[in-house]
Amino acid sequence: MNDQIPEFVGPAIDWFSVSPLIVLLGGALLLLLVGSLTPQWRRGWYGLVSALTAGAAIVLSIFLWRDVSSSGAKLLVGGALALDHFALLASIAICSAVLLVSLVTSDYLAGENSDMPEIYALYLTAAIGGIVMVAANDLIVLFLGLETLSLSLYLLAASNRKRTESQEAGLKYFILGGFASAFFLYGVALTYGATGTTRLVDINSSLNSYITVPRNDTLLLVGVGLMLVGFGFKVSLVPFQAWTPDVYQGSPTPVTGFMASAGKVAALVALVRVFVTAFPSRADDWGPAVFILSALTLVIGSVVAVVQTDVKRMLAYSSISHAGFILVGLEVSSHRSSPNVGDGLTAIAVYVVLYAALVVGTFSVVTVVAQKSSDGAASLDAFKGIGKNNPVLALAMTVLLLAQAGVPLTSGFVAKFGVIQAAINVGSYELAVVAMVCAVIAAFVYLRIMVSMWLSDSTSSESAKVPLFSTIAIAIAVAVTLVIGVLPSLLLDLTSNFTQLASK
Amino acid sequence: MIASNAEVLNFPILTLLVVLPVIGSLLVALLSGSRPEWIKLTALVSSVSTAALSLWLLAVFKSGEAGFQFVSQHVWISQWGISWHLGVDGISLFLIVLTGILFPLVIVGIDPHHNETSYFAWMLLLQAGVMGSFLSLDLFLFFVMFEIVLVPMYFLIGGWGYDQRVYAATKFFLYTMAGSAFMLIGIITTVALAHRDLGVVTFDLVKIAEGAKFSTNTARWLFLSFAIAFAVKVPLFPFHTWLPDAHTQAPTGGSVILAGVLLKMGTYGFLRFGVYLFPQAAMWARPAIFTLAVIGIIYGAIAATMQRDLKRLVAYSSVAHLGFIVLGTFALSSQAVTGAVMQMVNHGVSTGALFLLVGMIYERRHTREISELRGIQHVAPIFAGVFTVVMLSSVGLPGLNGFVGEFLILIGSFGPARWWAVVATVGVVLAALYLLWAYQRVFHGEPDEANSTFKEITVREGLLMSVFVAIIVVSGIYPKPILDRIEPSVAALIQHVEGQTK
């Protein structure tokens, strides 16, 4: 019998194409191993190593970008991963989030007197998971990425051992996240049952190659639905959003920023890739579902945000409503008969990358402000009087909030404009109207924070000094927000061939 | 359609009109730390040079030409077919000049009392936005400017206003933003549909208006999406409720700018975008808009009569006056539209001046309650005299500027909108009623103790008001140079509308 087992031959691996992942892994191991074997490093060094690792991954991704520009998109590791502009831009967004969040975390942990290497290592492993997710061309690989990301996030959410809220957030996130993973995995299993493969590209060709008998299609659609539910939990679409405000509020603020940016970007991009690459032939089935999810998410996200009093909860709901906006782009991709169907992908990619910078910047400011407040919480009261005590910080926050509201000349407007334009180009007027109305409702939330900062009298007159690393992070985020807001061409130039996802 | 003056073509005068205030604003913000004494000077230099530039534009503007002059067009976002496209014609010319001269007057004439730096920075940014809105010939650029104006105005009302300022500022922001949300969808849809006719994606107003054909139903929907944004901005009844709050709570400078130029962005938008892009749909919507405008005229007048607060009274009078402007705009006869454009400027001057005067009263008495004021004529006759002239201009007394505009509007609307014009005429009478009655209560009678120390107008205030009075009188007696410049562009627009609707 033994001689009949053929020798196992692994797939050929283009090592350079996966180098961002390797660099991130190296950085994480360095922090964990060396960090645990050496005495406490000097202040700021853990964060710096993490930021530099992310920076190196960004640089490598840019090299890969040029490769893809010249030689086209391709599949890696025997078809497990895709290398295309869509994935690379999302990877860059995730790594940028790691870079900025590491800087902020470094100041934050120094303030809490508990700087430790584990947090940064977890950021880096989460980024690995995220990059695997956005590039995954195989549902199983996608699941691996999802779990790597999620497990890191559970630990990060609970990482503040001194606060019970943080423990609660971690546990809550863990239980509901596990629940979601189960949904997703069952969906994968059913899809496999219906199509006989887990490769996204192969699923599509198997669905197109023969006429499926009705029984199989039911299996498939249930599978797709379960996957949508799983993703819905991960990116907190309504009605799967209930955990989000609690977890966002309880987690340490920089971690919240990381979850809202990198975590969300990874899950959303993966969601989009799965549906656009694997199930375009069933777009008529999932299109309406996405339409409803998107509208619900937009409405609930923006309306419920209005009545919150804690800034982190407000931003949690606002991030829900942003996810609704991004789903509008996915809904666009379901209009297969329209010649403009590709606009959806481009709009999503632009939205995602701008949103990541925006949300990290916003949470960086919240981190600084909340840490100065007496109870460490980010209530609206903590923001009172910043306009007087620290006008530059307040101005930076104002720019970021206006961008979240989608005011012109900020990146937020560019992002929203792209999505709305895509929706209109395929004739989804209803969704465009819902999205714009919700943008106005959400604007009220940002105005409330601005009112607290500028128009309310301060409770204390002490000037909140912003630590160096946080200043850099906030400055970068604000710069991206304004530069892309005024000159969107810089980003739009890159997006010319987003619609070419890797398929072979 | 595009004509320009060859000798000044190379000088980007329109771009400078937008950029100068931005530079001024940045300078003010940057100087604040090192040279606090330069703040007001910088703001003044920046706004005065913008004013000089706008007056120079007025001087070199070729009267008798209908098309856009001094056109400046540069690619901005090539992927979306968006360009930095500015131009001026008879319809926008005087609004630009008004914007140019109103800001320095406000900056020199009214003290913010606290936080000078940010006040002036926001003011100048506001000026840039308003200038940009009036100059844009690109739908996207117009939207950007139209929307960006909200931010400085929000902070001006919220930061320097009165007791209910946060409520008023938020309401202002959200109302206007809700309106423009629909306009954004309208703009994108317009461009997407025009793409089929034009073969390229472009946000160029002139290209779309001259080249694209929309089916009747589509054009109606698109017109409505624009109309909501403009109706909120004007404000047209029943979208007006933000206005009295914003006006009453805004600082004097904010109110002057709000009434003077900001509301005109709505009426101007109706004319430049609504009517120009969708003539048929505009004709279709006329009866409804006439009705709302006339309701606004009567309702604004009655509400103004009932007010106890002098500033709120002026605010409601704005609702009535803007009803007239909208009536004239949609009458779409040459006279009525010319009158409406003229009246946009007139209302800016006279209501702006009224808000300044009310502000001066508040500075002295710290109240705007009409019942608290009495017999001011006795202690401050010159102040009362200035108030009289401005008020009569607002009432529309022949010989002053308000008459010219209202007269043209009513004559021009009598044909296309007879019964609406008849009802609107009642509004003229009501305007006399509420303003004269208010005047009587505030200025006549014997001053009581609190009012007997009312300070006479100061030299600075006098100089400030003399500019307004001069404009009111001169353009009232000899409006021909103004009308000569407005009319050709209006005639061209009417011709465009008639060509499209026949």
Q: B266: buried, middle or exposed (CB in 10 Å: 19+, 13-18, 0-12)?
A: buried
- Residue A321: predicted pLDDT: 92
Contact criterion met (CB below 8 Å) for B230 and B269: yes
**Residue B232: its chain A contacts at CB < 8 A?**
none
- Residue A493: domain span: 14-497
Q: Nearest Cα to A124, choosing from A99, A145, A141?
A: A99
Confidence class of residue A20 from pLDDT cuts 50, 70 and 90?
A: very high
Confidence class of residue A388 from pLDDT cuts 50, 70 and 90?
A: confident
Residue A503 lies inside a defined structural domain of this protein = no
- Residue A117: predicted pLDDT: 87
- Residue B463: domain span: 278-502
Q: What is the mean pLDDT of residues A255-265?
A: 93
Three-state DSSP at B4 gives coil
Residue B360 has pLDDT above 50, yes or no: yes
Give the list of residues 6+ apart from residue A228 with CB closer than 8 angstroms, or none.
A187, A271, A286, A289, A290, A293
Question: Is residue B79 within 8 angstroms of chain A, CB to CB?
Answer: yes
- Residue A462: predicted pLDDT: 63
- Residue B97: predicted pLDDT: 92
Q: What is the mean pLDDT of residues A150-172?
A: 90
- Residue B10: predicted pLDDT: 64
Please give the residue that has the higher pLDDT: either A342 or B336: B336
Q: Is A385 left (phi over 0), alpha (psi -120 to 50) or beta?
A: left
Q: Identify each DSSP E strand in A60-188 by its residue range.
A: 74-76, 81-83
pLDDT tens digits, one per residue of B423-480 = 888 888 888 888 899 888 888 888 888 778 888 888 888 888 999 999 999 988 998 8
pLDDT tens digits, one per residue of B210-263 = 888 888 889 999 999 999 999 999 888 888 888 888 888 888 888 899 988 999
Distance between CA atoms of residues A241 and A333, nearest Å: 23
Per the prediction, chain A carries an average pLDDT of 88
Query: Which residues in chain B (274-303) have CB-CB distances under 8 A to chain A?
Result: none
- Residue B4: predicted pLDDT: 44
Poorest-pLDDT segment among A168-182, A417-431, B113-127: B113-127
Poorest-pLDDT segment among A126-130, A273-277, A389-393: A389-393
pLDDT tens digits, one per residue of B131-165 = 999 999 999 999 999 999 998 999 899 888 888 88
Is B181 within 8 Å of A493 when comparing Cβ atoms?
Answer: no
Distance between CA atoms of residues B362 and A160, nearest Å: 55
Interface predicted TM-score (ipTM) of this complex, two decimals: 0.87
Nearest beta carbon to residue A420 from set B151, B178, B188? B188
Q: What are phi and psi of A61, to 5 degrees?
A: -65, -35
Instruction: Please calculate the CA angle B331-B335-B337 and round it to the nearest 5 degrees.
Output: 50
Residue A1 lies inside a defined structural domain of this protein = no
Confidence class of residue A271 from pLDDT cuts 50, 70 and 90?
A: very high
Confidence class of residue B5 from pLDDT cuts 50, 70 and 90?
A: very low
What ranges in B307-370 are assigned the alpha helix state H?
310-331, 334-365
Two structure tokens written together for A21 = 């992942």
- Residue B268: predicted pLDDT: 93
Give the list of residues 6+ apart from residue B100 with CB closer than 8 angstroms, or none.
B17, B50, B51, B53, B54, B55, B131
Q: Which residue of B has its CA nearest to A418?
A: B80
Tally of domains within chain B: 1
Residue A256 has pLDDT above 80, yes or no: yes
Dihedral sign (CA B261, B143, B210, B230): negative
Q: What is the mean pLDDT of residues A88-98?
A: 94
Pairing status of strand B82-88 against strand A74-76: unpaired
Residue A5 lies inside a defined structural domain of this protein = no
Residue A365 lies inside a defined structural domain of this protein = yes
Please give the residue that has the higher pLDDT: either A344 or A131: A131
Is B184 within 8 Å of A420 when comparing Cβ atoms?
Answer: yes
Residue A3 lies inside a defined structural domain of this protein = no
Residue A6 lies inside a defined structural domain of this protein = no
Residue A424 lies inside a defined structural domain of this protein = yes
Q: If interface means Cβ-Cβ distance under 8 Å, which residues of chain A face chain B? A: 391, 402, 407-409, 413, 417, 420-421, 424-425, 429, 432-433, 436-437, 439-440, 443-444, 447, 451, 454-455, 488-489, 492-493
- Residue B6: predicted pLDDT: 44
Tally of domains within chain A: 1
Is B80 within 8 Å of A447 when comparing Cβ atoms?
Answer: no
Nearest beta carbon to residue A402 from set B77, B151, B178? B151
Confidence class of residue B107 from pLDDT cuts 50, 70 and 90?
A: confident
Provide the percentage of residues in chain B whose pLDDT is more than 90: 31
Nearest beta carbon to residue A424 from set B148, B158, B189? B189
Contact criterion met (CB below 8 Å) for B497 and B219: no
pLDDT tens digits, one per residue of A164-213 = 888 999 999 999 999 899 999 999 999 998 888 899 988 888 887 766 55
Residue B36 has pLDDT above 90, yes or no: no
Q: A489: buried, middle or exposed (CB in 10 Å: 19+, 13-18, 0-12)?
A: middle
Is A454 within 8 Å of B144 when comparing Cβ atoms?
Answer: no
Three-state DSSP at A455 gives helix
Question: Is residue B184 within 8 angstroms of chain A, CB to CB?
Answer: yes
Q: Which residue of A has its CA nearest to B145?
A: A408
Minimal C-alpha gap between A454 and chain B (Å): 7
Distance between CA atoms of residues A122 and A115, nearest Å: 14
Is B185 within 8 Å of A493 when comparing Cβ atoms?
Answer: no
Provide the percentage of residues in chain A whose pLDDT is more than 70: 95
Give the list of residues 6+ apart from residue A353 with CB closer than 8 angstroms, or none.
A89, A90, A92, A93, A265, A491
Confidence class of residue B7 from pLDDT cuts 50, 70 and 90?
A: very low
Q: Which of A489, A493, A499 is the best substitution to test chain B (most B C-beta atoms within 10 A)?
A: A489
How many CB pairs below 8 Å do chains A and B form together?
74
Q: Which residue of B has its CA nearest to A435?
A: B181
